[in-house]
Structure 1
Amino acid sequence: MNRPRLLAAALPPLLAAALCGAAVSAPAASAATDPAAPAARPRVPHCVASDGFGFNAVFHVKERIIGPPLTCRVTLAKEPWVRATLGWATAVDAQSAVYPAGYTPLRPGIAPIEDFNAKFVSATYVHDIGTPHERTFTFKKKQVLRTGLVTSDGFPYSDPISPPLKPLTVGTHTSTVFITLSAEHCDGFAPDREADCLPAGTVRFSGDDAFEVQPRPRDAGAPGRPRR
């Protein structure tokens, strides 16, 4: 089952400062709908994992996606793009959940995925982290969190999928995702707090995934603008 194993990380100073500021507004996110519904002809190449999972189709995203598959690491100058992650999967229900000693879900009988959804506050997307070009965008739960999803082996999961992000300049960039939770959450798979729980506060949800912004075909001969 594809799912990230997340560790709490010290926040870079610029990110910590940004998280104290106002969130960037964006259209609200919606839960995935029927994947069997007819799809319009794609405007951009779709992000498809090696196992056939289609990020654009499942999440109904029209823009290019930068995501976990290495095949989804290219976008074009002057075009908005969307950041996807592997998401967070949990045990199926409260009855099958196994928790570390001392952990208590939000309320008795709540399914682990609903516990995660209830504690999810926001997601933060950082471009070019740790460089002079670092930029940070934070979105509230209703703007990013996709819920009601199920893995191929039957486990429920939720995924913070960004709204369309502004185009970047031509060259190599990185994208790092953090999430903020209101309280500790454990996924119910095993009683290992380090591997199966997320602490309250802001934690790193992805690596510093590198991707390329390429010139649009008609701009191929134009000089590049300085990176903002």
Structure 2
Amino acid sequence: MTETQVLDELEIRQVAVGPMDNNAYLLTCRADGSQLLVDAADDPDRLLALVQEGTGRLDAVVTTHRHPDHLRALASVVAVTGATAAAGADDAEAITEATDIRIRRRLHDGDRLALGELVLDVIGLRGHTPGSVALAYTEPGGRVHLFTGDSLFPGGVGATQSPEAFTRLFDDVSARLFDRFGDDTRVYPGHGRGTTLGAERPHLAEWRARGW
């Protein structure tokens, strides 16, 4: 089942796919019909149907990070639609090795992605993987929508493989998300339900103390 939000300039469609219930998000510019998919995670037929639920075109696929459950449908979706594949620069080679899809846009913290007449900010969140990225869309009224992959969830940051990686991810999430955006910012994670920065902010000290 597709969950759809219609904002002034952007439509956001969300589906969960695959055995790990990965969230995939289709972003549609209402002005010109351009579309971007966040994570072609699994079930390419469902994702291609999602594209058709929008405007039928797909301009780009952004893979938030290199883990296999987030890119199982990438090759099929790109082959059918001709969409540009984009991912964090430090995860790009691993994604290409896993999918045989060339990452034509290597993303870095601070980059900006055009989606029709809209702009999405790229935010590097190192730690879950070296090249994990989030996307931020800011409404004309100022409210922000964050697509965080597996770097931020309700209740904590994403899984890490060492104390050093946890510290890196926690520091990036703190400085690049919580210090930058307001409490009404909506968070769209790679699995499960969404949240807001305001709901999570009181728990930052607890997350740092527990180390996960």
TM-score over 0.5 for the pair: no
TM-score normalised according to structure 1 size: 0.26
Structure with more helix by fraction: 2
TM-score normalised according to structure 2 size: 0.28
Structure with more strand by fraction: 2
> 1 or 2 for the larger relative contact order (CA 8 Å, sep ≥6)?
1
